[in-house]
Structure 1
Amino acid sequence: MLSKADPRHATSSAMSGKIDDRQALAAIVLWNSGLFDTLDISKTLSIGEDAVYRTLHAARHVVAGEPA
């Protein structure tokens, strides 16, 4: 899915930008707690909700042993 993304949008307002490793790990931990949704996580970590979604999507592929 991510490989089909339009690379022209990688730095546009269509995507909120990169998150660092600590933010990605925190997003996964918060999501797995079952207490937070993607909007809560994005507000807590001061990152875009789309970045949280992309991180969780990639993490699911890693857990399943699939390429992200």
Structure 2
Amino acid sequence: MGADAIGKAIGGSEPSSTSPVSWSADSAIVSSSGDLGVTFGYIRSNAPAGTAPAQPPVPFFTI
């Protein structure tokens, strides 16, 4: 394996037009000083209905 082989392995096709997951912030909190903020939300699977058992959403937060 070298740089060329790695490039061909990961760059050989077009990226998918849709992401396998979606996420968005459901809530945000900002400090009174405005210098710190936190968002909360869920990561959800975008699998087409009926293709696999529905996966439960996974919580996330960002600081």
Q: TM-score, normalised by structure 2?
A: 0.20
Which one has the bigger strand percentage? 2
Which one has the bigger helix percentage? 1
